[in-house]
Amino acid sequence: MSKSASRCRIAWPIALTLVALIIGATILIIFLRLETWPARTARQSTAELERLGKNLRAAFIDIAHLQPRITINDRIYMEQTTPVSELVVLSRRIEVEHELLHTWVGSSKRVKLHATFIANAGFDLRKGLSIDIRPDQIMVQLPHAQILGVEQQQVDVLAFENGLWNHISGQDVQSELSALPELARKKAAESGLSAEAEESLQQQLEQRIHTAQPLRLIFKDEMKSE
């Protein structure tokens, strides 16, 4: 009995020492984890923002065939490397007509043309494109969309009538043909194609970039230019 009691007296201090060491180690580990938590969180947050930066880069390469300038929390992450002047987002078929009717000394001449154009709406990237990624939002800054150009597809002559002494000249025909592209551009602008291009770019980016932060397109121009 005396030997058993002696062993018990020796074992209890050892057990208490082990328990104390385990508790101390646990407290130390928790303390170290808490102490390094901000740094680990910052690293994880930065890694997530950089992942978004790569995704946005891939999206613009896919949509516009260029790598834009990307900053993360005001720090340059990627510089723009591929110079691209224009980004066409939407195209629409536009039909216009123009008529010349001229009377001189009772003699009238008449030319009427009908033309079909493809109007392209998008962004003039020579005015700048940049992306800033922050924990609370992603900001894409670029100029307002505009009508970048119109491409003539077909011209039909609806009327070509000479007067007895008031004949249609080559200059008349050239003048009528020259008026058609501007009419097509004006009609495309009035149709709201530029606003649709801005909405389309927003949708295309959101479809490619899945993130909790809101994606904001910020247009630098106060007024849209067509």
d(CA 13, CA 105): 128
d(CA 34, CA 40): 10
Q: What is the pLDDT of residues 42-52, one digit of tens each?
A: 343 667 767 77
pLDDT tens, residue by residue, 54-67? 777 777 766 666 66
Q: pLDDT tens digits, residue range 110-140?
A: 999 999 999 999 998 877 778 887 878 888 8
- Residue 25: predicted pLDDT: 60
pLDDT at 73: 66
Given a cut of 50, whether residue 53 has pLDDT beyond it is yes
Assess contact for 129 and 155: CB atoms under 8 A: no
Q: How is the chain split into domains, by residue range?
A: 53-219
Q: Report the distance separating Cα 182 and Cα 184, nearest Å.
A: 5
Residue 149 CB: number of other CB atoms within 10 A? Answer: 17
Question: pTM here?
Answer: 0.66
Q: How many CA atoms lie within 13 A of 10 on its CB side?
A: 6
